[in-house]
Amino acid sequence: MRYIPASDADRRAMLSEIGKNSVRQLFDSIPDTLQLGRPLDIPHARDEWSLLEYFERLAGLNRRHAVSFLGAGVYPHRIPAIVDDLVSRSEFYTAYTPYQPEIAQGTLQAIFEFQTYMAQLTGMDAANASLYDGSTALAEGVLMAHRITGRKRFLCARSVHPEYRMVVETYSKRLGLSLETVGFLDNGRVDTEDLGGRVDDDVAAVVVQSPNVFGTIEDTFALAEPAHRHGALLVVNIAEAASLGVLKGPGMTDTASRRADIVVGEAQSFGVPMSFGGPHVGFVATGRERVRQLPGRLVGEGRDRDGNRAFVLTLAAREQHIRREKATSNICTNQSLCALMSTIHLAALGPAGLRDLALENVQKAAYVRRRIASETPHRILFDGARFNEFVVRLDDFEGTWERLLAEGVVAGLPLVRWFPELEDALLVCVTEQHSMEHVDRLLKGLAA
């Protein structure tokens, strides 16, 4: 079945209207060296039934009943049925940019509630309406710090998720920003002595992550002080938002010198499927005094002419609303549907449910970590406090890894791809999704 909306006659008529004789002539401005010059090498079209059969056959190649202990920024969490049920309502999944508030109050309220949840969890005064994902949120947080301070030098902990750092580096190169990495200690935390010795009056911000890429919890309050002594900001990234069920948000302190200035992160853990890495939902939160520097969209609460509570887009200094050079961000949208998933999940959990979820993650990860240390020949690295991830150095990496894969267990993420010095190490993630049967399969494979 062909999905070509214009017929040959339609195309000839359109070309004639603009004075062109052929599609090739339409693209004459493109150099020949950049044109393919031949049809695309794609299979012939299939009818509906053979196409369905083809995809079913492909799906049958997937490994079934495999157990995965992968985390590293995308986390397996239970999603209540109410999330899919509500986001499947047509008024949500067909909604576009809510420019007309009088007919978009439901969408605007949902975004407003997402902002409220993110602000409450992080301890900040305000949060934006979401961004593409955690990595772009971190990049936007760095650009925000650059706008606020006017400085171009950044100190970024090496324990920030390496793929997040890659996105920040891409942005930085375009804008002439300098991104320097700070190492980590044997406990998996950032090297505070190295950091303290390198912060000076040229630094725009210190960038850290907690829990970091190794699952270790950083003392963000202590890291704020050396940054603030030199007029730099503290940007805290949170890749595993479920940790905020038990950890204090980086803004939850009455001491200004110990408070994070910008908190960014990924809210995928709340109601959003892993989906092979996306789409997900990022967020940026900050203090009241810097709210005008928030990138992207912001929904505000007001009153209509009858005095009723109403919601509107506000402070939208985006490229669609303002001259491009004046925009706070060129990401000109937000992840409304994914943000709604997170909002519904958090509303369903409530404060007690969120805390229970987070505690289950902490306890299960600690249990598996203890058993690996006591029942297998492998060594646990980094003894710092952690949430639901930890690092294991395998005694025989290749043999153990291949044996576990053959038994249908993805034991974790090999860290050598990002950290050459950890060539025999796995990052293991344990959440509420992992049953005792899953854990026993992992331990049996590691102990063999």
Distance between CA 59 and CA 7 in Å, rounded? 34
- Whether 67-78+351-447 shares its CATH topology with 81-343 is answered no
Distance between CA 265 and CA 122 in Å, rounded? 10
DSSP structure string for 252-313: --S-GGGS-SEEEEE-TTTT---GGG-S--EEEEE-GGGGGG--S--EEEEE-TTS-EEEEE
Can you say how many angstroms the Cα of residue 310 is from the centroid of all Cα atoms in its chain?
Answer: 30
- What is the overall mean pLDDT for the chain? 92
Taking the CA atoms of 199, 200, 201 and 203 in sequence, report the sign of the dihedral they define: negative
Nearest-5° Cα angle at 60, 59 to 62: 75
User: pLDDT over 70 for what percent of the chain?
Assistant: 96
Among 443, 437, 432, residue whose Cα is nearest residue 240: 432
| pLDDT, tens digit (0-9, with 9 covering 90-100), for 7-43 | 889 999 999 999 999 988 988 899 989 988 888 888 8
pLDDT at 419 > cutoff 90: yes
Classify each residue of 91-118 as buried b or exposed e, where b means 16 or more C-beta atoms within 10 Å of its C-beta: ebeebeebeebeebbebbbbbbbbbbbb
| pLDDT, tens digit (0-9, with 9 covering 90-100), for 394-417 | 999 999 999 999 999 999 999 999
DSSP structure string for 174-196: HHT-EEEEE-B-TTSSB-HHHHH
Classify each residue of 220-232 as buried b or exposed e, where b means 16 or more C-beta atoms within 10 Å of its C-beta: bbebbebbbeeeb
| pLDDT, tens digit (0-9, with 9 covering 90-100), for 307-342 | 999 999 887 655 555 556 677 777 767 788 999 999
Q: What is the CATH number of domain 67-78+351-447?
A: 3.90.1150.10
Nearest-5° Cα angle at 365, 363 to 368: 110
- Axis crossing angle, helix 436-447 with helix 397-406, rounded to the nearest 10: 140
- Axis crossing angle, helix 336-375 with helix 105-122, rounded to the nearest 10: 30
| pLDDT, tens digit (0-9, with 9 covering 90-100), for 52-82 | 999 999 998 887 778 999 999 999 999 999 9
pLDDT at 1 > cutoff 50: no
Map out the domains of the chain as residue ranges: 67-78+351-447, 81-343
Is the overall model pTM greater than 0.75, yes or no? yes
Distance between CA 170 and CA 163 in Å, rounded? 11
Q: Does domain 81-343 have CATH number 3.40.640.10?
A: yes
Distance between CA 197 and CA 192 in Å, rounded? 8
Span 73-97, average pLDDT: 88
Span 218-235, average pLDDT: 96
